[in-house]
Amino acid sequence: MSSKRGSSPRTAIYPGTFDPITYGHLDIIERAVEIFDRVIVSLGRNPEKNPLFSLDDRLEMIRESVADIKGVEVDTFSGLVVRHAQELGAEALIRGLRAVTDFEYEFQMALVNRRLAPDIITVFLMPNEKYTYLNSTIVREVASLGGDVGRFVPPAVEKRLREIYSGVQTKESNQE
* CATH code for position 129: 3.40.50.620
Could you give the CA distance from residue 75 to residue 77 in angstroms, rounded to a whole number? 7
54 as an active site residue: the answer is: no
State the DSSP string of 4-35: TTBTSPPEEEEEE--TT--HHHHHHHHHHHHH
Q: Which of 49, 70, 115, 151 is catalytic?
A: 49
Domain carrying residue 34: 11-133
Of 62 and 1, the structure prediction assigns the larger pLDDT to: 62
Q: What is the pLDDT of residue 4?
A: 47
> Does any domain span residue 171?
no
7 as an active site residue: the answer is: no
Q: How many domains does the chain have?
A: 1
> Does any domain span residue 1?
no
Mean pLDDT of 114-126: 96
25 as an active site residue: the answer is: yes
> Does any domain span residue 176?
no
The band of 168, judged by pLDDT with boundaries at 50, 70 and 90, is low
> Does any domain span residue 109?
yes
* Phi/psi of residue 73, nearest 5 degrees: -125, 165
> Does any domain span residue 146?
no
The band of 1, judged by pLDDT with boundaries at 50, 70 and 90, is very low
Q: Which of 10, 25, 95, 140 is catalytic?
A: 25
Q: How far is CA 61 from each of CA 35, 53, 131, 153, rounded to the nearest angstrom?
A: 24, 10, 19, 10
> Does any domain span residue 88?
yes
Q: What predicted TM-score, i.e. pTM, was given to this entire model?
A: 0.88
Q: Which of 95, 136, 140, 160 is catalytic?
A: 136
Q: Which of 98, 114, 144, 162 is catalytic?
A: 98
pLDDT in tens, 73-87: 999 999 999 999 999
> Does any domain span residue 127?
yes
Residue 37 CB-half CA count within 13 A? 14
Which of 18-27, 32-41, 106-115, 167-176 shows the lowest per-residue confidence on average (mean pLDDT)?
167-176
pLDDT in tens, 129-146: 999 889 999 999 999 999
